[in-house]
Amino acid sequence: MTVNYRTIIVEDEALIRRNVSRKFSELGTRFEVIGEARNGQEALQLIEQTVPDLVVTDIQMPVMNGLELAKHLYFAYPQVKIVILSGHHEFEYARQAISYKVEDYLLKPISEDQIRGLLDAMELKLGNVVDSLTHVSAAVEEQRKPEDIAEAVKLYVKQHYMHEISLQDMAGQMHFSVDYLGKCFKKVTGETPLKYMTGLRINEAKRMLVAHQNLDIQSIGKAVGYADSHYFSRIFKNKTGVYPSEYRQQCTERKKALSLDHESHGDLS
C-alpha cells in the first residue's frame, strides 16, 4: 500500500505559504499538504488534530515562532519531522534548530529543485525512522538545575516511551531519588513525568492511527507502549474524549470534507 506523507506548511506570509503548498502539489510526490498555519500556535492546534509526518515552518512569525514550535514538537511529537524554511541565515538560528533535531534548514526563496531534493531526503528518513539514542545519564551528571533535569527526563521519555518504563527506571538511570526527580519535573512543567509520557504516547498513537490505516488498534497500542489493548483504548479515550477507532474515523471524515472544500473552491493559484 502506498503511503502518503502528510505535511503542514507554517508561514505567516500568505503568498509564500500558498506558493510552497502549490509546489508540493505540482511535484506530484508522496507528500500531501493537509493544512496550513500562519504561526506556531495555529500550527500546534492543527498538529493536535492531524498529527502530520512533516512540518515545514518559517522562523520569524507572530505569536509563536518556528524555533519555539520546533522545540515543542521535539519533546511532544517524537516522530514528526521538522524542516525550517527561513530568510535568516544567522548561525544562532541554525544552532538552535540543530539542538531540536530539525531535519533541514533552507533559505528563502527556495527553488523547485531544492524542494524536490528536500522531499527525496525526507521520504528516505520517514521510510526508515530510526532515532539514535543519547546517553542521558552522562548528560545529567553536568546538569543539576531543575530545568535541566526536567529536560533530561523529557529526553529519556522521548527515547523510551514505546517500552514499559517507570519513574523508578528514570531515577535509576539519572542517579536521583524518585521523589527528587518527580518534584523537579513537576516544578518546571506543572505535570508528573507519567502524565507527560502518557501525553507523548497518545500523540504518537494519533499519528499512527491516521498514517497507518492498515494497522489495527492493538498493534498501535503496543507500538506506543501499551501491551493491553483495552487499557490503551481507555487511556486514549480519557485523553481525547473518543476511542482510537472513533478518532481514526473522525480524521478520515475530516480529510474527505477538506478535499470536497478544496474541490468546491478550486486550486490555489
Question: Domain range holding 37?
Answer: 5-127
**pTM to 2 decimals?**
0.57
Q: Are residues 121 and 155 in the same domain?
A: no
Q: Are residues 146 and 77 in the same domain?
A: no
Q: Give the model's confidence band at 150: pLDDT under 50 very low, under 70 low, under 90 confident, else very high.
A: confident
Question: Per residue in 6-46, pLDDT tens?
Answer: 899 999 999 999 888 888 877 766 788 899 999 999 999 99
In a domain, 192, yes or no: yes
Which stretch of 13-17, 167-171, 215-219, 229-233 has the lowest confidence by average pLDDT? 167-171
> What DSSP string describes 193-252?
HHHHHHHHHHHHHHHHHHH-TTS-HHHHHHHTT-S-HHHHHHHHHHHHSS-HHHHHHHHH
Q: Are residues 153 and 205 in the same domain?
A: yes
Question: Per residue in 163-183, pLDDT tens?
Answer: 888 888 787 777 778 888 888
Q: Are residues 9 and 120 in the same domain?
A: yes
Q: Measured between alpha carbons, how far is 17 from 21 in angstroms, rounded to an integer? A: 6
Give the pLDDT mean for 133-157. 65
Q: Is the pLDDT confidence value at 131 over 50?
A: no
What per-residue confidence (pLDDT) applies to 158?
86
Q: Measured between alpha carbons, how far is 81 from 51 in angstroms, rounded to an integer? A: 11
Cα distance between the two ends of the chain: 31
Beta carbons within 10 angstroms of residue 48's beta carbon: 13
Using alpha carbons only, what angle is made at residue 10 by residues 243 and 20, rounded to the nearest 5 degrees? 115
Nearest CA-CA partner of 169 in 187, 158, 156: 156
Q: Could you tell me the CATH number of the domain that includes residue 111? A: 3.40.50.2300
End position of a domain, from candidates 127, 152, 187: 127
Q: Are residues 111 and 145 in the same domain?
A: no
In a domain, 76, yes or no: yes
What per-residue confidence (pLDDT) applies to 138?
45
Percentage of the chain with pLDDT > 90? 32
Q: Could you tell me the CATH number of the domain that includes residue 141? A: 1.10.10.60
Q: Are residues 121 and 142 in the same domain?
A: no
Q: Give the model's confidence band at 137: pLDDT under 50 very low, under 70 low, under 90 confident, else very high.
A: very low
Tally of structural domains, the chain: 2
What per-residue confidence (pLDDT) applies to 140?
45
Sign of the alpha-carbon dihedral angle for 51, 22, 123, 121? negative
Q: Are residues 9 and 109 in the same domain?
A: yes
Q: Are residues 85 and 17 in the same domain?
A: yes
Q: Are residues 118 and 19 in the same domain?
A: yes
**Average of per-residue pLDDT values in the chain:** 82
Q: Are residues 173 and 228 in the same domain?
A: yes
Q: Give the model's confidence band at 116: pLDDT under 50 very low, under 70 low, under 90 confident, else very high.
A: confident
Give the pLDDT mean for 112-133. 67
Q: Are residues 89 and 147 in the same domain?
A: no
Q: Which residue has the cell 527526563?
A: 153
